[in-house]
Amino acid sequence: MVAITLPDGSVRRYPNPITGLEVATDIGPGLARAALALRIDGTMRDLTTRLDQDTAIAIVTAKDGDDALELLRHDTAHLMAEAVKELYPETLVTIGPSIENGFYYDFCRPTPFTPADLPLIEERMRQIVERDEPITCEIWDRDAAVAFFQGLGETYKAEIISAIPAEQKITLYRQGNFIDLCRGPHLSSTAKVGKAFKLMKLAGAYWRGDSRNAMLQRIYGTAWFDKKDLDAYLHMLEEAEKRDHRRLGREMNLFHQQEEAVGSVFWHPAGWQLWRTVEGVIRRRLDANGYVEVKTPQLVDRRLWEASGHWEKFSQSMFLATSGEEELQLAIKPMNCPCHVQIYRQGIKSYRDLPLRMAEFGSCHRYEPSGALHGIMRVRAFTQDDAHIFCTEDQITSETIAFCELFKTVYRDFGFDNVRVKFSDRPEKRAGSDETWDKAEGALLEAAKAAGLETTLNPGEGAFYGPKLEFVLRDAIGRDWQCGTLQVDFVMPERLDASYIAEDGGKRRPVMLHRAILGSFERFLGILIEHFAGRFPVWLAPVQVVVATIVSSADDYALEVLGALKAAGLRAEVDLRNEKINYKVRAHSEAKVPVMLVVGKREAEIKSVAMRRLGGSEQEILALDDAVAKLAEESKPPA
């Protein structure tokens, strides 16, 4: 006798052990059809799992959201592997997990896949779905499984099995003629995958994620429970492409990049205006929060980088400067901290000087790998909104709290409300003793807790000199971006010999907190462009208002309006071209100017303007003075 408890608390009793699928069938044929898997103790299990003792189960259907999608995507990955093995039997299979929005599978084969292969594989996948092949789980002996895959020539699979801890069961899943090592769970049949999937792209990927290993062929796909969801996802991708900052940068004439300066940005007037607006926000906040601003040299002798430890770890990605005249040992600075320590070291510091918050809009250069470059989001020449807080150990907590308040305010100003925090602890390659790291990690975690932050652990991802908090914001279309950071550093002050005189007259080491709110201007501006899809709020927009005439007899008045706007501090332009108003409205709408003031004969006569908002179809007739006052108010950046 087994008693099966369902989520609603009801209990069903059966005389003999029973499978989840049988329970579902017993409840109703509709549920049996919809059933995908079971959840037992919070773990997903196969629908065919045999229940031989009293158990509480939930039957998972497509309505179960992420869990169900993960299952589906994992199955679609297997389905793809089966199709690939049928079409290209010489291909070796490796792993194929579900990921956000879809799945991938890594294959090994002598000749790479081409984009033309994708539709063929997709078609075969549909055929396998129609075949309705049952997916069954088998428990194998480890040695037998290794021998089995070796026998098939599937060396990667054999290697994976060998690496599974001895106490774990080896489960293989069989569908048709395809058999794969897998932890499961899986759907009960290939038919349950349905047809709302699509293979998206080909890419290379290193075996086990290590660049020293062979490169495999990865195929990415997306999978959903119904076609509507698939279409919605594909539509979302199209929308994301439309707001790509590289495209908008060109269309809105914000910046450009070219071969002669790979990894750098040519900022055009409009883009630079955006930069200056953002910089202004940060500068005002720094001033209001007790920071001092400095500027440090671009070229710094290699000795300083050797002393700081950066040379040892990063010399490969530092630019070196030579003069042609003599042997120079200068590096173009890849970061600002050692320079800030030099300013700190001028004169004797007292505990009364701490915390000393030293900020710089620091222009840095790093030779990033070519493949890492991406528009203005990842460049070789960038400007950080950097600052280093020199403080005592006792001040770490209060400084962390103050910084968290600061970045939240700034992010909110730019329209980002959703921010998560990651805590990255000691990496393998690091400076400083274990005791120092214990202290730094402990202090940072405690401070994060005191600041009311919930953190998720990012193991081994800290900087070489200390642990970090990383601030991840979510943009308007749900993508996550890591921007801000706060890092505790006990190492750099030691290496570069920074000290202060404590209350008792003794000499002490300060702690350095490295912190940035935006990260780099280039990256943050790229994110802003994509977040707003180029439709900036008035205070951020490079051009805030365009005055457009309907007839040339209104030209003089239009210039008067322009003058009034400029006098009120607005970034305004005038369009007197010999074009119809329809044309002008379209042109400036496409340029994403937030406000248009249209003037014709009527407006010129009574000194009014017809105000039109980007994307709207309404017009508002206002007296010139009122319009200017209203826009001046709207265009104020956050205080």
Residue numbers annotated as active site: 337, 366, 384, 386, 388, 468, 514
Q: How far is the CB of 50 from RNA (least distance, A)?
A: 37
The residue range among 360-368, 446-454, 493-501, 625-633 that interacts with RNA, by the rule CB under 7 A, is 360-368
Of the two residues 416 and 464, which places its CB atom closer to RNA in the complex?
A: 464
Of the two residues 58 and 599, which places its CB atom closer to RNA in the complex?
A: 599
Q: How far is the CB of 468 from RNA (least distance, A)?
A: 8
Residue 596 engages RNA in binding (rule: CB under 7 A): yes
Q: What is the separation of C-alpha 547 from the centre of its chain, rounded to a whole number of angstroms?
A: 38
Q: How far is the CB of 559 from RNA (least distance, A)?
A: 15
Q: Are strands 255-256 and 266-267 parallel, antiparallel or unpaired?
A: antiparallel
For RNA (CB under 7 A), the number of binding residues is: 73
The residue range among 132-140, 451-459, 538-546, 586-594 that interacts with RNA, by the rule CB under 7 A, is 586-594
CA–CA distance, 62 with 31 (Å, rounded to integer)? 11
Of the two residues 23 and 95, which places its CB atom closer to RNA in the complex?
A: 95
Residue 114 engages RNA in binding (rule: CB under 7 A): yes
Q: How far is the CB of 18 from RNA (least distance, A)?
A: 42
Of the two residues 129 and 546, which places its CB atom closer to RNA in the complex?
A: 546
From the CB of residue 339, how many other CB atoms can be counted at a distance below 10 Å?
Answer: 23
Instruction: From 189, 194, 223, select the one nearest 32 (Cα to Cα).
Output: 189
3-state secondary structure of 183: coil
Residue among 37, 581, 627, 628 that touches RNA (CB under 7 A): 581
Contact between 78 and 85 (Cβ < 8 Å): no
Residue 314 engages RNA in binding (rule: CB under 7 A): yes
Determine the residue type at 91: T
Residue 357 engages RNA in binding (rule: CB under 7 A): no
Residue 242 engages RNA in binding (rule: CB under 7 A): no
Residue among 183, 303, 586, 636 that touches RNA (CB under 7 A): 586
Contact between 437 and 484 (Cβ < 8 Å): no
Q: How far is the CB of 251 from RNA (least distance, A)?
A: 7
Q: Rule CB under 7 A: which of 148-207 touch RNA?
A: 201-206
Instruction: From 355, 318, 325, 362, select the one nearest 340 (Cα to Cα).
Output: 362
Residue 334 engages RNA in binding (rule: CB under 7 A): yes
Q: Rule CB under 7 A: which of 23-82 touch RNA?
A: none
The residue range among 21-29, 144-152, 565-573, 610-618 that interacts with RNA, by the rule CB under 7 A, is 610-618
Residue among 45, 285, 349, 366 that touches RNA (CB under 7 A): 366
The DSSP 8-state label assigned to residue 441 in this structure reads H
Beta bridge partners of 468: 424, 487
From the CB of residue 44, how many other CB atoms can be counted at a distance below 10 Å?
Answer: 20
* CB-based contacts of 554, cutoff 8 Å, min separation 6: 599, 600, 601, 603, 604
Q: Rule CB under 7 A: which of 498-537 touch RNA?
A: 514
Residue 494 engages RNA in binding (rule: CB under 7 A): no
Q: Rule CB under 7 A: which of 377-416 touch RNA?
A: 378
Of the two residues 224 and 465, which places its CB atom closer to RNA in the complex?
A: 465
Residue among 598, 627, 628, 631 that touches RNA (CB under 7 A): 598
Q: Rule CB under 7 A: which of 200-229 touch RNA?
A: 201-206, 209-211, 215, 217-218, 220
Beta bridge partners of 623: 608
Q: How far is the CB of 112 from RNA (least distance, A)?
A: 4
* CB-based contacts of 402, cutoff 8 Å, min separation 6: 289
Of the two residues 319 and 351, which places its CB atom closer to RNA in the complex?
A: 319
Of the two residues 124 and 515, which places its CB atom closer to RNA in the complex?
A: 515
Q: Rule CB under 7 A: which of 253-312 touch RNA?
A: 257, 259, 262-263, 310
The DSSP 8-state label assigned to residue 490 in this structure reads S
Residue among 15, 166, 578, 639 that touches RNA (CB under 7 A): 578
CA–CA distance, 601 with 552 (Å, rounded to integer)? 9
Q: Are strands 55-60 and 2-5 parallel, antiparallel or unpaired?
A: parallel
Residue 233 engages RNA in binding (rule: CB under 7 A): no
3-state secondary structure of 500: strand
Phi/psi of residue 223, each to 5°? -145, 140
Residue 614 engages RNA in binding (rule: CB under 7 A): yes
Residue ranges in 347-433 assigned as alpha helix (H):
396-413
Residue 369 engages RNA in binding (rule: CB under 7 A): yes
- What is the C-alpha radius of gyration for the chain, rounded to an integer number of angstroms? 31
CA–CA distance, 84 with 635 (Å, rounded to integer)? 57
Of the two residues 13 and 212, which places its CB atom closer to RNA in the complex?
A: 212
Q: How far is the CB of 117 from RNA (least distance, A)?
A: 10
Helices (runs of H) and strands (runs of E) counted in the chain: 20, 35
Residue 87 engages RNA in binding (rule: CB under 7 A): no
Q: How far is the CB of 236 from RNA (least distance, A)?
A: 14
Beta bridge partners of 107: 93, 217
Q: How far is the CB of 107 from RNA (least distance, A)?
A: 11
Q: For the purposes of burial, counting CB atoms within 10 Å of the CB of 125, is it exposed (0-12), middle (13-18) or buried (19 or more)?
A: buried
Element (H, E) at 546: strand 545-549
Phi/psi of residue 257, each to 5°? -130, 150
Q: How far is the CB of 524 from RNA (least distance, A)?
A: 14
Of the two residues 210 and 238, which places its CB atom closer to RNA in the complex?
A: 210
Q: Rule CB under 7 A: which of 430-489 touch RNA?
A: 463-464, 487
Q: How far is the CB of 319 from RNA (least distance, A)?
A: 10
Beta bridge partners of 210: none
Of the two residues 616 and 638, which places its CB atom closer to RNA in the complex?
A: 616
Contact between 321 and 301 (Cβ < 8 Å): no
Residue 237 engages RNA in binding (rule: CB under 7 A): no
The residue range among 29-37, 404-412, 563-571, 577-585 that interacts with RNA, by the rule CB under 7 A, is 577-585
Residue among 127, 162, 418, 553 that touches RNA (CB under 7 A): 553
From the CB of residue 465, how many other CB atoms can be counted at a distance below 10 Å?
Answer: 28
CA–CA distance, 519 with 517 (Å, rounded to integer)? 6
From the CB of residue 183, how many other CB atoms can be counted at a distance below 10 Å?
Answer: 12
